[in-house]
Amino acid sequence: MPDGKRRGRAGRPGAGPLVRATALLALGGACTEGASWFLQWRYPDRPVAPDLLLDALPYIEPARLLTSVAIFAAVVLFAIHAWRHEPQRIPDFVAMLAVMYLMRSVLLVLTPLANARDGLPAQFPLFQYGMFPSGHTAVVVLCAMWVDRRTAPGVKRVAVSLALVVCLGLLLAHSHYAIDIAGGALLAYFVDREWRRGWLLEPVKRLVAPGEST
């Protein structure tokens, strides 16, 4: 059967792959939240690390709101782009986000650092006790990487700009250490590259692949 029909009518993703990918994303979110609370329970007095960029840049509290708006805009922009141009790949995109969060949940517990600005209320209600790597950086970098420059050059420029705004906003709001942002970007790059060219994520790719008709 042609791939388009396995994915759903008019190139839309089939229900099965999307449901499985969404369930995996929920698991990734739950694991990340669990890792965050584990740090709070196991290391309640986590140290605040010195950071060269945070010391050099001014603290601008309104940047917290700017960061939140930019993250939301980046996700919505990519969702619209994916639905219009690559709907058959939506389960893949959701699964890659899930893998990113699952990997982040493991990395979080390896580096128990306090919030970059001690005593600062959490910018985001979830995942508030974990620092490295930055999941929000990873999300916006993935969204920017997934937009094909040849298909939508304008969307690509906006997505990259939003990713840069998020990274700068996280620094100015002291919501993350600089190394968290670098780690989030590298995690996004690893997940995307491994999905496209590697073998490590093959079990996940098979999980969200459309079922073959007999």
Task: Please state which of the ranges 97-106, 151-160, 204-213 shows the lowest mean pLDDT.
Answer: 204-213
Domain count for the chain: 1
Which of 5-9, 10-14, 48-52 tops mean pLDDT? 48-52
Q: Is the pLDDT of residue 214 over 90?
A: no
Asked, for residue 21, whether it belongs to a domain, the answer is yes
Compute CA distances 174 → 45, 57, 60, 168, whole Å: 19, 9, 8, 10
φ, ψ of residue 125 in degrees (nearest 5): -65, -25
Asked, for residue 200, whether it belongs to a domain, the answer is yes
Q: Residue 200 sits in which domain range?
A: 10-46+56-207
Asked, for residue 213, whether it belongs to a domain, the answer is no
pLDDT of 125-148, one tens digit each? Answer: 556 778 899 999 999 999 999 999
Local confidence band at 8 (pLDDT 50, 70, 90 cut-offs): very low
Asked, for residue 51, whether it belongs to a domain, the answer is no
Asked, for residue 159, whether it belongs to a domain, the answer is yes
% residues pLDDT > 90 (the chain): 70
For residues 167-190, give the mean pLDDT.
95
Residue 115 confidence (pLDDT): 85
Local confidence band at 92 (pLDDT 50, 70, 90 cut-offs): very high
Tell me the CATH number at 102. 1.20.144
Asked, for residue 114, whether it belongs to a domain, the answer is yes
Asked, for residue 214, whether it belongs to a domain, the answer is no
Strand (E) or helix (H) holding 31: helix 15-42
**Cβ pair 36, 144 in contact under 8 A:** no
Better pLDDT: 61 or 120: 61
Asked, for residue 180, whether it belongs to a domain, the answer is yes
Cβ partners under 8 Å of residue 150, min gap 6: none
